[in-house]
Structure 1
Amino acid sequence: MRRVLVVLTGGTIAGAMRDGKDTAPDTGASERLERLLEEFFDDRGLQVATAVPWGVPGLDSSDLNPQHWIRLTRIIIEELQKGDLQGIIVLHGTDTMAFTAAWLSLVLEGIPLPVVLTGSQLTLDYTPEDVQVNLRGAAQVVCAGYPGVWVYFNWKLIPGKRAHKARAIHPDAFTAVNGLPVFFSPEWGREAPKILLPELHWRPPQHLQNLLRKKETAETISTLARQLRWYLCMPGCAPHFTGEEKALVLLGFGAGNAPSEILQALVSRFENEPMKPMVIACSQAEGDTKNPQAYKGVGIASLAKKGFFVWGQGDASLEFVHALLWYAFLAAPDSPASILGHYLKGYAPGNP
């Protein structure tokens, strides 16, 4: 009998209302989720193996960080090595689900079986609830054998690297950034699909193997959190650069532009520093491919002429850029560009 790994991390899907006012992870809700999945997969001849990486009932996803991502990755790799998995379901809070999905898309690139993240905006004790729609949909995806990392939500299957939470409370929470979701109709879910058995000829990439050999501590994550910084460009506001930055994401406008005074302030702050931070040029405009050298004077790629190595967001989601930044500096701290360059376009120092 093949197994399905179900990872319970917490979130609203494992939550319940408290005093009719707010929602928090709940032990009873987690147990109900396990029973629902066990019944579903038992009818299809699949055995459920449950993992609870941070205990029952888990955590609100707002509190998850890269240290939790690494722990989750270790659990998945260990289970994959047993060789009898049909697929993986990660039950997760919606607030940071897209970030975890982006991370898993990086570390599990090329995986030959389904890894499906799902959750809910409403709890099981709410009427109507969206828990069972998403839970059973994710389970159907696993049975159908669609390989890769996905987010399943509200009848839509979205590639993990393109998922973005666009609505705060509405059950149709996620959109696909610069891509299209796969829509599943109710008829698709009426009958149990034929179980497709994935071929498990997959090995973790060398960068990931190097990362998992290390013992990343909260102190390591805390140090990197001060060195990998995001700055939001807003009219009339200027960020403060500490000088500790190893990588700096400028979240600008349009094609990847920023106020010229911010670019000048960055050049001035690091003018005499022996090592300048890498700059990731991103945009608040969600759609299309970004081109941070398209506009003279305000294009963030112009920093390359001032000695900075600049990377462009391209058509990636902001969640993917964030996960990629952490992966590059955790897995290859001496050569993060070797990972960044695999996914993003670079503008080398001195490049006009």
Structure 2
Amino acid sequence: MNSSTYPAAQLVMVLYTGGTIGMQASINGLAPASGFEARMREYLHSQPELVVPQWRFREMSPLIDSANMSPAYWQQLREAVVDAVDVQGCDSVLILHGTDTLAYSAAAMSFQLLGLQARVCFTGSMLPAGAADSDAWENLGGALVALGHGLAPGVHLYFHGELLDPTRCAKVRSFGRHPFKRLERQGGGAKAAVLPMQLGYQQQRHLAKVAVLPLFPGIGAEQLDGVLNSGIQGLVLECYGSGTGPSDNPEFLAALSRARDNDVVVVAVTQCHEGGVELDVYEAGSRLRGAGVLSGGGMTREAAFGKLHALLGGGLDTAEVRRLVELDLCGELS
């Protein structure tokens, strides 16, 4: 990833969503605060040796702690990115975001912005700008410099000098300068040869209802039905190991079969930090597939969640959604 391979960014739109990077003290603790553009401009002006592309700034509304991030806000972000690129002529977008759900948002945008030739980079910080030993300015400046050197089209996650593929990583630490890590996942799928028109970045999206449910010893049909009957269209089922679950529980398997018959798309990912799902290795996995569960291969929880939102929100029929779940769209299964 360098300027000899990819063109350098000429004009970057900075989208500020809130998050720790711009937080200031309030009577209830650190809270998102307006006015970050002036602070950013003052910092960059004080660092003449830092060569960054030209940039514009847009403050999203409302500013949020990323613990309050939602798929509805993702819609706002997607629309802001499309406006920055297709209307305002920016070739790159830098999104300032809180770290708690940054990996979810970056993965979701990877699927929401399929086909976009601009570069989108997410960053944030573990401590607010201006705090002692803060990582805010080094991450913001580093992300701008990375864009200025040239990045591949698509979505990136930048933190502490490292560029990560957002469909392959997660937040693994609540402290320090290296909260994000690429997960060593295995289990791929063939690359989708052609993407349906409905998944193009310019297409409007509907809000989908997707849930995540981790398996645990003793989980039964009652808990599963409670989630499946809540009106969801998709479920990321965090299974054991290579994709196993309580296969000797007929009521549990029947609940999964009812979900399939009711067009709820259930995708299995592994709870393990490394490896992936292969549903046919063990009988306890093959019975899940027999009940309609799809393999998430090596997808992370964040990638599977964002992928289901994009597929279900694109208005595709259930059969097409089920087909595309197990195909690689933007590196999530490669």
Q: With structure 1 as the length reference, what TM-score do the two structures score?
A: 0.76
Q: Which residue does the alignment assign to 1:188?
A: none
Q: Deviation per CA, 1:178-200, whole angstroms, max 9, x where unpaired?
A: 37xxxxxxxxxxxxxxxxxxxxx
Counterpart pick for 1:302 among 256, 281, 287: 287
- If asked which structure has higher relative contact order (CA below 8 Å, sep 6+), I would say 2
Give, in whole Å, the separation in 2 of the partners of 1:172 and 1:263.
44
Q: Which amino acid in the other structure matches residue 120 of structure 2?
A: V
Q: Which amino acid in the other structure matches residue 33 of structure 2?
A: D
Counterpart pick for 1:8 among 3, 16, 25: 16
Q: Deviation per CA, 1:123-178, whole angstroms, max 9, x where unpaired?
A: 12321110011111101111011122111112211012112100012221000123
Q: Which residue does the alignment assign to 1:150?
A: 156
CA contact (8 A) 1:74 1:212 kept: no
User: 1:53 Cα shift?
Assistant: 2.4
User: Is 1:136 paired with 2:141?
Assistant: yes
User: 1:122 Cα shift?
Assistant: 0.6
**Quick one: structure 1 residues 37 and 79, their matched pair in 2 at CA, closer, same or farther if it must change by over 3 Å?**
farther
CA contact (8 A) 1:107 1:208 kept: yes
Q: Which residue does the alignment assign to 1:47?
A: 54
SS at match of 1:293: coil
Q: Which residue does the alignment assign to 1:166?
A: 172
CA RMSD of aligned residues (A): 3.1
User: 1:341 Cα shift?
Assistant: 3.1
Q: Which residue does the alignment assign to 1:18?
A: 26
CA contact (8 A) 1:177 1:316 kept: no
Structure 1 spans left out of the alignment, 5+ residues: 180-203, 347-352
Q: Which residue does the alignment assign to 2:278?
A: 291
Q: Which residue does the alignment assign to 1:198?
A: none
Give, in whole Å, the separation in 2 of the partners of 1:343 and 1:324.
8
Give, in whole Å, the separation in 1 of the partners of 2:113 and 2:255.
40
**Quick one: structure 1 residues 119 and 62, their matched pair in 2 at CA, closer, same or farther if it must change by over 3 Å?**
same
Q: With structure 2 as the length reference, what TM-score do the two structures score?
A: 0.80
**Quick one: structure 1 residues 129 and 271, their matched pair in 2 at CA, closer, same or farther if it must change by over 3 Å?**
closer
Counterpart pick for 1:341 among 296, 304, 323: 323
Counterpart pick for 1:248 among 218, 223, 235: 235
Give, in whole Å, the separation in 1 of the partners of 2:142 and 2:312.
35
1:119-268 paired onto structure 2 within 5 Å: 119-147=124-152, 148-178=154-184, 206-208=197-199, 212-213=203-204, 216=206, 221=207, 224-225=208-209, 228-238=210-220, 239-242=223-226, 243=229, 244-261=231-248, 264-268=251-255
Q: Which amino acid in the other structure matches residue 288 of structure 2?
A: L
Deviates more, 1:336-345 or 1:319-328: 336-345
Deviates more, 1:107-116 or 1:155-164: 107-116
Give, in whole Å, the separation in 2 of the partners of 1:27 and 1:83.
23
SS at match of 2:126: coil
Aligned residues: 305
Counterpart pick for 2:309 among 305, 308, 326: 326
**Quick one: structure 1 residues 233 and 273, their matched pair in 2 at CA, closer, same or farther if it must change by over 3 Å?**
closer
Q: Deviation per CA, 1:26-77, whole angstroms, max 9, x where unpaired?
A: 224553135435777997584322122214xx10111111111111111111
Structure 2 spans left out of the alignment, 5+ residues: 1-8, 186-194, 329-334
**Quick one: structure 1 residues 80 and 289, their matched pair in 2 at CA, closer, same or farther if it must change by over 3 Å?**
same
**Quick one: structure 1 residues 50 and 233, their matched pair in 2 at CA, closer, same or farther if it must change by over 3 Å?**
same
